[in-house]
Amino acid sequence: MARGRDEARIVRAYLDAIDNGAKRPGRRRSPETINKQIAQVDALLRDAHGIDRLNLVKQRRDLEAARAKAVPVADHGGLERDFVRVARSYGERRGIDYAMWREVGVPASVLTKAKVQRTRLSTAKGSKR
């Protein structure tokens, strides 16, 4: 029973980490990249007038808000390593197959490391096709 709780805790932590890191498609902006963009906007602001100045001020505020929300990419290596260790047994015990892991965002490379097999849609246990 304790093993099941430990595995559930590990799986939950890993899935939470990938959920938090996958809010939007595309490349993530690092705080450093955002700082460079703010510097570029500040440089443009020196010579801007009228509506251009207004748009640049808004762009800078948006970038500052994004920087405040940006969390440096945490080292998920430990979480991934623990997940790889328990994913197969947890999935087998709970009836979670490869497609289900993929649907919730677990990368195929991680499932390969965890030795979770790709399976075809199966019929009921013991029945023949």
The model's pLDDT over 14-55, given as tens digits with 9 standing for 90+, comes to 888 777 665 555 566 778 888 999 999 999 999 999 999 999
Q: How far is CA 25 from CA 21, 22, 31, 58, in A?
A: 10, 7, 18, 23
Q: Model pTM?
A: 0.53
User: How high is the pLDDT of residue 96?
Assistant: 92
For the chain, domain boundaries: 2-27+80-113, 31-69
DSSP H helices, the chain, are 2-21, 31-45, 50-69, 77-94, 98-103, 108-113
Per-residue pLDDT, 38: 95
CB atoms within 10 A of CB 41: 20
Residue with tokens 């595995």: 7
Whether the CB-CB separation of 85 and 14 falls below 8 Å is answered with no
Higher pLDDT, 7 or 31: 7
